[in-house]
Amino acid sequence: MTVPLLVLAGLDPTGGAGLTADVAMARSLGLHPLPVPTVLTVQNSLRFSGMRPVEPAYIRSAVGSLAEEFRFDVAKVGLVPVDDEAWIDEVGDILFLRCRCVVIDPILRPTAARSESAISPAFLRFISRPGVVITPNLRELKAIASALGVSQTDPALLAQDVGRVTGAAVVSTFEGEKAAVLVVDKGMSSEVPVMLVPTKRPVHGTGCRFSTAIACGVAQKKGLLDSVKTAIKKVTELVENRTEISGSGQDYLS
């Protein structure tokens, strides 16, 4: 039987990231995605102009309706209004009522955005619940650590401290600075090697697909480390076969 995966993410009108990309990734890995929008964005791959959060009441109704038909216990969460405390608390309650694991991609600044969102106390509570896996890049990891009052210069120690304070498993990329992905889970730290694919310009939607692939592995009852390795392999293949759709924008994944 095909495994369902609950996916909450922003609706990117370019189709290259967010909910559309998450659905494509889940299907390519053999799962059945259950997509629920969190925010409606105004953007292209050059510029992020803004977003409008979806009402939590809609999300509650949508997830409840899905639960009447599908049995799911893992969710992936992408773009959310991280500075909206009431929204974050309510959506967190909706998810953790039904899911044993929530993989959170802490998007503090979409690739085409000029500024980074402030991290609210509610967002810190959101990533500190049992069963959470967070997938920040190095910049996002540092921002989360700063909001938690954690100070380290070494990324591995930083991730360990963030994991210790929040209780979350941490999967962090080095934004091309190092050919590895850092995995911290239950106090154990590992670096998984990754092949860096040369690109002439940014590639749209790699981060969201990476976290979705991890969520897919967890939903299939695979260990976190194995899920990360599968996600690395899948995203690397997609980047190798990326396409140029817009002459002035970013490259896109198929």
Spatial CA neighbour of 35 closest among 2, 14, 59:
59
**Rounded to whole angstroms, how far apart are CA atoms 22 and 16?**
9
pLDDT of residue 228: 98
Please state, in angstroms and rounded to a whole number, the distance separating the CA atoms of residues 132 and 152: 22
Beta-bridged to residue 40, according to DSSP, are 11, 52
Query: How would residue 233 be classed by pLDDT, with cut points 50, 70 and 90?
Result: very high
Is there a contact between 172 and 181 (Cβ–Cβ < 8 Å)? yes
Q: Tell me what pLDDT residue 42 has.
A: 95
- The Cα diameter of the chain in Å comes to 47
Q: How many domains does the chain have?
A: 1
Residue 230's pLDDT is what?
98
**pLDDT of 206 strictly over 70:** yes
pLDDT at 111: 56
CATH of the domain at 214: 3.40.1190.20
For the residues 30-38, what does the mean pLDDT come to?
Answer: 98
Identify the pLDDT of residue 93.
Answer: 97
pTM (two decimals): 0.95
More confident residue, 176 or 73: 73
Query: Which 3 state secondary structure label does DSSP give 129?
Result: coil
Structure tokens that stand for 237 in this block:
């293949």
Q: Domain range holding 77?
A: 4-252
Asked whether the predicted pLDDT for residue 117 surpasses 80, the reply is no
Return the amino acid letter for 242. R
pLDDT exceeds cutoff 90 at 165: yes
Q: What is the residue-averaged pLDDT of the chain?
A: 93
Please give the Cα distance from 3 to 24 (Å, whole number). Answer: 15
pLDDT digits (tens, 9 = 90+) for 43-86: 998 889 999 999 999 999 999 999 999 999 999 999 999 999 99
Instruction: Give φ, ψ of 253 to 5 degrees.
Output: -95, 145
- Strands of the chain, DSSP E: 4-11, 32-43, 48-53, 74-77, 101-104, 132-134, 169-173, 180-185, 188-193, 203-204, 251-252
